[in-house]
Amino acid sequence: MTPPSIASRLLPWYQQSGRHDLPWRQSRDPYLLYLAEIMLQQTRVETVKPYFRRFLARFPSWQALADASLDEVLALWSGLGYYARARNAHAAARMVVDRFQGEFPTDLVQALELPGVGRSTAAAVLASAYGQRQAILDANARRVLFRYHGLTGSMRSPQNERLLWQLAEQETPAMAHDYNQAIQDLGALLCLSRKARCDECPLLGPCAGPCEPTQIPQPEKPVRYACFLLLRTEDGCVLLEKRPNRGIWGGLWALPWYALAGANEVPELAETLRNWAREEYGLRPQLGEWHSWQRHTFTHFHLEYRVIEADISVYGVGEGRRALFPFAPEQLAQLALPSPLRRLFS
Q: Which residues are catalytic?
A: 37
Helix/strand/coil for 306: strand
Please name the amino acid found at residue 262: G
Q: How far apart are CA 200 and CA 334, in angstroms?
A: 46
Burial 247-269 (b: 16+ CB within 10 A, else e): eebbbbbbbbebebeeeeeeeeb
Q: How far apart are CA 123 and CA 116, in angstroms?
A: 13
Looking only at the bridges linking them, the beta strands covering 257-260 and 223-232 are: antiparallel
Q: How far is CA 326 from CA 148, 230, 282, 346, in A?
A: 57, 12, 14, 17
Q: Residues 291, 297, 302, CA angle at the centre, nearest 5°?
A: 80
Q: How far apart are CA 117 and CA 138, in angstroms?
A: 13
Residue 167 exposed, middle or buried by CB count within 10 Å (0-12, 13-18, 19+): buried
Nearest to 125 by CA among 203, 252, 194, 35: 35
Q: How far apart are CA 76 and CA 264, in angstroms?
A: 36
In the chain, the N- to C-terminal Cα span, in Å, equals: 60
Q: How far apart are CA 77 and CA 39, in angstroms?
A: 9
